[in-house]
Chains A and B, each alone.
Chain A
Amino acid sequence: MNAIEVQGLTKRYKKSVVAVEDASFTVPQGTAFGLLGPIGAGKSSIINMLLNFIRPSAGTIKTLDREIPAQFHEVRHRIGYLPERPGFYGNFSAERNLRFFANLSDVREEREEKIKKLFKLAGLEGKETTLVRAYSLGDRKRLGIAAAMLNEPELLILDEPSTGLDPQGRRDIMALIHELNVHDVTLFLATHNVRDIAEICDVVATMRAGHVAAPTTTKDFVADVRGKTVQLEADIANINERILQAIRSVKGVKSIQCEGLKISLEYRPGINEDVNYVITRAGGRLRSLHESPSLEEAYVRKMGGRTR
């Protein structure tokens, strides 16, 4: 069964501005679907139509087997939504906000227990009574996820979940989202960040100037963007022959250039971790390890833009 089915979806603002044009895709239940495109591509417009915030100019949407907008009221309790900048009542505590949204989400039984669990899941324990206006953007996003999960949704729609977060905050949020998908929640993630897609999604569709390309598996997409070979640049404090030997033993290594330690190897997911592991195991003190070009750089190049 499909969680989302979109056919010929079009959104025009004031007749002349086309935000989305003839978009068609399906999201099977249980998958993590990524909609990848630059800011202004029309991703949020698609989300706004999926959630009945705005009406489509043409086309059809079926969410969890119900026509949107006509039958949205029948499925909204099965959907969770994390906006790009989640809005809360700043003069209320985080707990009071969640309790308010829980009451509107038909969560009555074991409400307090559920709220407690969600604070734990979102990593906000100890901040329950803090006023939301004192929350950082990262904490607001965490609270946004908790609010979106109140009704235990089957489908979670996320709009730019990592935007505006520092690296640690981003990592935590993405780990949290990944955890949700493991528990059979269908994810629809719209982002301009190719790393979010690579880390979370099974399927990806790219979007540009209102047009959605045919979805493909994330594995194929990443291979297509990056090419088959990747170069890792390592900075090791105590490089020696033993460490080089260990690196050579990693599956897929094609060549090692000792000056600046550039390693060419066949790309596969988790390759950084493998190289990191063998270096450390051989007694190497790794100061840095990064891909060149990075996935973002490769993606921007492929899209015909510039990295800088």
Chain B
Amino acid sequence: MSEFTESAYKFLVIAQKDFESAVKTKRFIIFGVIFVLLALVGAYYGNADVARSIAPISGAPNPATQPVNYAISVSYSYSEIVLTILALALSYDALSGERSARTLVQLVVRPITRRTILFGKFVAYLAAAGGLFVITTLVLYIGLSITTRTVPSSSDVGYLILSMGIILLYVMSFIAIGLLISSLTRTSLDSLLGAVFVWILLLILTYAGVALGLGAINLSPTSDIPYAQFPGYAKILVWINPGSHNVAIQSLAGDFFKLTSGLNYSVNVIFLIASILVPLIPAYYFFNRSDAV
């Protein structure tokens, strides 16, 4: 076997083991069930909105012309936060947990690089959280199409696939944050505290950014926040949270011109990709330099 094939094989071995372990955990089952329930409730209310013929909302699918995509967008808005918690819950002790359980030494003493271990875990958690999301969304989409007797247009199906890609990037960013926390902590408890802290911090930074931005331009909170008018420091506070670049609902609508968090569509996608790499690269650096015991 060539070195590349060897590395790819071991990567898959790690990914398979971690996927199997992840889906058997209580946290996966608990947050997974909550996610599915919220996605169902969201789809139900979205469908009800369509039945009531509500007015179109800027940046969201049109309930009249894209009824299934609209219902899915409401489903996203209900459930995506739980998906980020699930991603973080799976990854926060990926490395520190192995260290505490003394399995990390059993791994690193064998002919396998730490890079393979880290990225194998990354893919495993993506497959677990992302897989649950993709399956749930596809089932809901087919279910809504059947129950409402609507045949979505090919462009609507394309927008759905694009939006799922955006959500997967969003999930990846939280997995990367979890891996970074895990590489910096030594025990599962420290990692849990770190994950809770980071999650709350991201929320606080977003709200602080919005409050400071609105204060700077003397505006009261409205449903359509003018991020573009915010001063630079307020924008940065908002942009730190990967959630501020989540353009999944825009993607479902096929609206690529609306500004989200004051940024256009493609810049948001770039920021979303950056929010994966920014934690992942230091996670690799710290894991590679850390003691295995």
Q: In the bound complex, how far is the Cα of B103 from the Cα of A53, in angstroms?
A: 13
* CB pair B111 A73 closer than 8 Å: yes
Main SS at interface, chain A:
loop
* CB pair B111 A83 closer than 8 Å: no
Which single member of B13, B21, B291, B293 contacts A103 (CB below 8 Å)?
B13
Per-residue CB proximity of B107-147 to A under 8 Å, as 1/0?
Answer: 11111110000000000000000000000000000000000
Chain B stretch 177-231: residues in CB contact (< 8 A) with chain A: none
- With A91-B21, A91-B24, A106-B111 as contacts: A101 and B106 at CB distance below 8 Å: yes
B102, CB-defined interface residue at 8 Å: yes
Which single member of B10, B104, B105 contacts A104 (CB below 8 Å)?
B10
For residue B108, which residues in chain A have a CB less than 8 angstroms away from its CB? 52-53
* CB pair A81 B109 closer than 8 Å: yes
Shortest CB–CB separation between residue B23 and chain A, in angstroms? 11
Residue of A nearest to B12 (CB): A103
Shortest CB–CB separation between residue B222 and chain A, in angstroms? 50
* CB pair A86 B24 closer than 8 Å: no
Shortest CB–CB separation between residue A73 and chain B, in angstroms? 7
Per-residue CB proximity of A273-288 to B under 8 Å, as 1/0?
Answer: 0000000000000000
B258, CB-defined interface residue at 8 Å: no
* CB pair A54 B291 closer than 8 Å: yes
Shortest CB–CB separation between residue A290 and chain B, in angstroms? 35
For residue A54, which residues in chain B have a CB less than 8 angstroms away from its CB? 291-293
- With A53-B291, A53-B293, A54-B291 as contacts: A104 and B112 at CB distance below 8 Å: yes
B274, CB-defined interface residue at 8 Å: no
Q: Interface size on B (CB < 8 Å)?
A: 26
The interface size bin for chain A is: 20 to 34
Q: In the bound complex, how far is the Cα of B111 from the Cα of A73, in angstroms?
A: 7
* CB pair A86 B106 closer than 8 Å: yes
B101, CB-defined interface residue at 8 Å: yes
Q: In the bound complex, how far is the Cα of B9 from the Cα of A103, in angstroms?
A: 9
B27, CB-defined interface residue at 8 Å: no
Per-residue CB proximity of B77-94 to A under 8 Å, as 1/0?
Answer: 000000000000000000
Which single member of A76, A90, A103, A147 contacts B106 (CB below 8 Å)?
A147
Q: In the bound complex, how far is the Cα of B21 from the Cα of A301, in angstroms?
A: 50
Shortest CB–CB separation between residue B96 and chain A, in angstroms? 13
Chain A stretch 54-105: residues in CB contact (< 8 A) with chain B: 54, 73, 76-77, 79, 81, 83, 85-92, 100-101, 103-105
* CB pair A104 B110 closer than 8 Å: yes
* CB pair B292 A53 closer than 8 Å: yes
* CB pair A76 B110 closer than 8 Å: yes
Sample (26) of A-B pairs whose CB atoms are under 8 Å apart: A48-B292, A48-B293, A51-B109, A52-B108, A52-B292, A53-B109, A53-B291, A54-B291, A54-B293, A76-B109, A79-B109, A81-B109, A85-B102, A86-B102, A87-B103, A87-B104, A87-B106, A88-B106, A89-B103, A92-B17, A103-B9, A103-B10, A103-B13, A104-B10, A104-B112, A105-B111
